[in-house]
Structures are given as structure tokens and as C-alpha cells.
Amino acid sequence: MVTSLLTMIILAIPGFLMRKKEMISKEQIDGVGKILMNYLWPGMVLQAMLSVEAEPSVLTEIQVIVIAAIAFHIGTLIFGWFYAKNRRLMAGQAPALAVCMAFSNTGLLGMPIVNSLFGAKALMLASFVELVNDCLLFTVGISFLRGEKERKEPFHWKQILSPGLVSVVVGAILFVLQLDLPEVFLRVIDYAGNACTAIAMFTIGGQIAEIKLDRVIRKKSLYEYSVIRLIMIPLVVCVLCLVFLRQYRLVSTVLVVMLAMPPAAVLPILIAQYDQDYVIATELIMMSVVGCVFTIPLWSIVTGILF
């Protein structure tokens, strides 16, 4: 595991250095991120789904992780809402902080890390956590952001459609039915999936290089929010998994690590769309991306010991 963690860190260094030296621009990093999320990431999901046999025990683990992920996401969203309300924040900050507490970067950051540390079966389980994360973000999460503005727009399924979500659904169908794809398609999926981790860490390195540390380190509240997001929430998840899901070791490990990720990168855009305070989300993401360099290895080690 130590070797895997060091590998992930080293993979992020080229992106960090190239962005710091302005060898690549912010727009290019964003473009690489779009390639990752819309092409390589779906390939990684399909690769994982096709590499695991649909045994009864695996199907049970999928059911358990989906139910647990729904419960944890809703629980953290409710906690985030009450916590933000009690902080007496400025208008628009409470809904923004609540969704940042609930919805992690399970796609861009979480799944490549799970794949690198725990393998294909763990990645397959993680893809269902990502499915839950996306569905709840664009339904329940948006309802929180609309709340105080009393928005009346109806929900559209197009809001949650993406290549990543489609790959989870298609992969789940192929997994359950155990269908065989032609060799040429399997090779394309393998090539895309194998490139995902390296490109993901390159992108994260470039994003870290964008962070103006002198701007965020002065805000004491961000330290508190980051500790809650990166340490307290996964700690509660870990304890609950020990109590209720201890017999499902891999499920518990995936849940803790996925929910220990920083807030989702898409949140500032989504928050701004509903006229809430996106600045607090952007700053929290900046702080927690730096913090997760230390906390993700910590939770990987802790889950390895406990589960």
C-alpha cells in the first residue's frame, strides 16, 4: 500500500511542476480534466465491471454499498445543513457549505485512488458510490441549493446524464448479464482504463499548482471545515462501518476512502448557478485538496488495519 501511495504522489508531480512553470495553461489542465471525466474515466469503470464475475456475494456487496452510500450521503447533507445554520453564515453560504460537506470528489479523485490501492473489485464497488453521489447531488443537492430561493424549475434527468453515469449503467448491465464484448472493444476499454490513474493524478497536480495558499491559509474557518470534511466525516463513516458492516470488509474500506475525498470539483459551478455563495466552496476545495495529500494516505492505512 505504501508503494501505491507513493506512486500516486509521484504521478501528480509532473502536472504540478508543468503548471507552476507555466509550461501548460489552466485551460489546458481543464481540457485534460474533461478528457479524463468524459473518456478515460468511463473506460476505467467498464474495465472494472468486466473484470469481476457476478457471484452472489458480489451482488450482495453491491446492494450493501448502494444502501450505505445513500444513507451516508443524506446523513452528511443533513448534518452539513444544521452545522452551517448554527454557524450563522452570510446569506447563500449555508446551502453551499452543506453540499460541500455531503458530496465528495468521488469521480476525478476517488475512483483512480481506489483502483490503484485496492484493485478492480474495489473500483467496481466504488463506481456505485459515484452513481449514488451523482444522482443525489443533482436531485437532493440541487433542492438544497434551490431552497431559500424557492425555485420552481422541474427536475430533468438530463441534469445527471454524463458519459461517466452512462458507463456505470452500461457496465452494471454487462456485469449482471456477464456479456462478452468483441476483443477490439475490450482492448479500447483497457487502453482507456489503464491511462486513467496517471492522467487523473497529473490533473490533480496541475490543480494544486493553481492554489494560492497565501489567500486561503489566513481564513481560520477553512481549517475547521476541512477537518470536518476530511477527518470527522470519514471517522464517523468508519465507526459506523465497524459497527454495522464489519463483515463486508472491502465495502467498508471503499466507503471510508471515497467519503474521505475533498468536495466535488463541480460544486462551485453548480452553486453559482443557483445564486448561492460559490466562493466558500472554491476556498474549501482549495484547502481540502492540499489537506487530502495527508489524510487520504492516513485513511488508506487505517482501513487496511481495521478492515
**pLDDT, tens digit, 9 for 90 and up, residues 82-124:** 998 888 777 778 888 999 999 998 877 888 889 888 988 998 8
Of 71, 21, 40, 20, which is closest to residue 196 (Cα–Cα)?
Answer: 40
238 contacts 257 by C-beta, under 8 angstroms: no
Rounded to the nearest angstrom, the gap between the alpha carbon of residue 206 and the centroid of all alpha carbons in its chain is 17
Range with lowest mean pLDDT among 5-9, 109-113, 156-160, 236-240: 156-160
Closest C-alpha to 136, from 103, 174, 106, 173 = 103
End-to-end CA distance of the chain: 14
* Nearest one of 240, 265, 267, 256 to 301, comparing CA atoms: 256
Report helix angle 233-244 to 278-306, nearest 10. 40
Domain count, the chain: 1
Q: What percent of the chain clears pLDDT 90, i.e. is strictly above it?
A: 33
Cβ contact 239:114 at 8 Å: no
Q: What was the pLDDT predicted at 224?
A: 93
Position 295 pLDDT exceeds 90: yes
Global pTM?
A: 0.79
Structural domain harbouring 6:
2-306
Selection from 91-95, 160-164, 174-178, 294-298 with the highest mean pLDDT: 294-298
**Helix ranges (DSSP H) in the chain:** 2-20, 26-35, 41-50, 56-86, 93-102, 111-118, 120-136, 142-146, 163-177, 183-210, 213-216, 220-227, 233-244, 249-258, 267-273, 278-306
Q: Does the CA dihedral 270-143-45-118 come out positive or negative?
A: positive
How many CB atoms lie under 10 A from the CB of residue 304?
12
**Residues 23-50: what's their mean pLDDT?**
84
- Mean pLDDT over each residue of the chain, to the nearest integer: 85
Bridge-partner residues for 263, per DSSP? 104
pLDDT at residue 155 is higher than 90: no
The answer to whether residue 306 scores a pLDDT higher than 90 is yes
Distances (CA, A) of 50 to 47, 169, 176, 259, 298: 5, 13, 10, 25, 30
Asked if pLDDT for residue 161 goes beyond 80, the answer is no
Contact 64, 245 (CB under 8 A): yes
- Indicate the pLDDT class of residue 226, thresholds 50, 70 and 90: very high
- Residue 285 belongs to a domain with what CATH number? 1.20.1530.20
Cell of 298: 492516513
